[in-house]
Structure 1
């Protein structure tokens, strides 16, 4: 069994340094997206109610179709108000994005342990760099897909919780009822999660080259021109 030898030398090289950045940015992704909580607020005036604030609270994983504006008092605006649910279920996009970040975090942790403690095994066994290369390419592709899918979902979440929601609330169209959009929680952290997703995509895409350089595929290609030069010299070309 290979012995554990602490060596931080690989972290000073692009291969290890980028892995540390990937580890950090994966934390930022699930912290900014998975930890979000917000609410959207209306001000309602109807029969027996003047400027009553009604609020719908939403959070990760953004199943908005389970979130509702409860009726203002008293007696449900004289019978003109029915509980209204927000529109859309964006849980699949959000959970895919956050789950990817968690899995990447775990993989980066394992990879850093190998880089620091088993550098000698990683560099001597050709299977480790090849496996690392395959996983790096797959994760880069998943970040590409996940980031764009989540960015699209976020745009729709903003529409479903913004000022336009009044147009879809039938109770607000009842005679004698007036609804005004008041506010919605800032989604700056969700915007940041998209940015971090894009940065992860760039980091993992760029890291493919540095992992590839440690594989025997790169070493074999590097030896081909040298072998051709020696052969040509022997033939006097």
Structure 2
């Protein structure tokens, strides 16, 4: 059995380099999404009275739980009889994206550790590590495709939801002016999601080359003829 030792050589190979890049970009993917905190602001004008109201907007994007503050019931002479919530629940897509990103980060670091510590055993005859690695890499590629597509669609719906006008806004008595809601970090999370998809798909080829499907095991040496 090959002795375990540290070897930084795999980092200079496509297989090891891709694992490092996967871990690096996975952090950006789930951190920009999971750490997002913002607000939806609307400027209200009721005659000579001007007020700015805001509703929180952040992960996991259960917008139906976000209420404008200060309470709209106390503004514009009772124009709004009830508190107004944002519309939509996009938590499933957001949480799925964060879960895939965190899982991909952990797996890429574990796979890189195996390459740096146990490369001879990884490439040894009869080793099943490349097979398992290939199946896991293909699975994460599929998960990145599903998660990135779902989150991209959810982000589009979030932008529509936060851009919807408030009810009971009837100029000139009540003028509601929406203010810009920065979502650059959320756009970046979508970009990093599809970038991770490309990285994991490309890594499938490098891992496939380590399996016996691409590189058959070396034939055993012929036995010496027995003495007559």
Same-fold call, TM > 0.5? yes
**In the TM superposition, what whole-angstrom CA distance separates every residue of 1:99-139 from its partner, at most 9, and x where no partner exists?**
10000111111111101111111111421000000000010
- CA distance in structure 1 between the aligned counterparts of 2:74 and 2:195, rounded to whole angstroms: 51
The residue matched to 1:38 in structure 2 has which SS? Answer: strand
TM-score, reference length from structure 2: 0.87
Which whole-Å CA distance do the structure 1 matches of 2:184 and 2:205 have between them? 33
Q: What's the TM-score once normalised by structure 1's chain length?
A: 0.84
Q: CA RMSD in A?
A: 2.3
Larger helix share, 1 or 2: 1
Displacement, 1:178? 2.1
Q: Does 1:9 align with 2:28?
A: no
Alignment counterpart, residue 197 of structure 1, candidates 193, 197, 200 = 193
Residues 133-144 of structure 1: matches in 2 within 5 Å?
Answer: 133-144=134-145
Unpaired runs of 5+ in structure 1? 224-237
CA distance in 1 between counterparts of 2:152 and 2:218 reads 41
Give the corresponding residue for 1:26.
Answer: 26
User: Could you say if the C-alpha distance between residues 6 and 53 of structure 1 is closer, same or farther in structure 2, counting changes exceeding 3 Å?
Assistant: same
Which residue is 1:57 aligned to?
A: 56
1:129-177 Cα shifts (integer Å, max 9, x gaps): 0000000001011111111111111111111112xx21xx323249932
**Do the aligned partners of 1:71 and 1:77 also contact (CA within 8 Å) in 2?**
no
In the TM superposition, structure 1's runs of 4+ consecutive aligned residues that sit over 4 Å from their partners are: 71-74
Check conservation: 1:61, 1:91, Cα contact below 8 A.
Answer: yes
Say if 1:181 and 1:136 are closer, same or farther in 2 by CA, change over 3 A: same
Q: What does residue range 103-114 of structure 1 map to in structure 2 within 5 Å?
A: 103-114=103-114
Over 3 Å counting, the alpha-carbon distance change for 1:41 and 1:12 in structure 2 is: same
Alpha-carbon distance in structure 2 between the residues aligned to 1:23 and 1:207: 12
Superposed counterparts of 1:24-173, under 5 Å? 24-46=24-46, 50-70=49-69, 75-81=74-80, 82-124=82-124, 125-162=126-163, 165-166=164-165, 169-173=166-170
Return the alpha-carbon distance in structure 2 between the equivalents of residues 175 and 80 of structure 1.
Answer: 13
Q: Distance in 1 between matches of 2:70 and 2:8?
A: 61
CA distance in 1, matches of 2:27, 2:158: 23
Structure 2 residues not aligned, in runs of 5+: 220-228
Conserved? CA contact 2:34–2:98, under 8 Å: yes
Q: Which moved more, 1:211-220 or 1:74-83?
A: 74-83
SS of 2:60's partner is coil
CA distance in 2 between counterparts of 1:174 and 1:84 reads 19
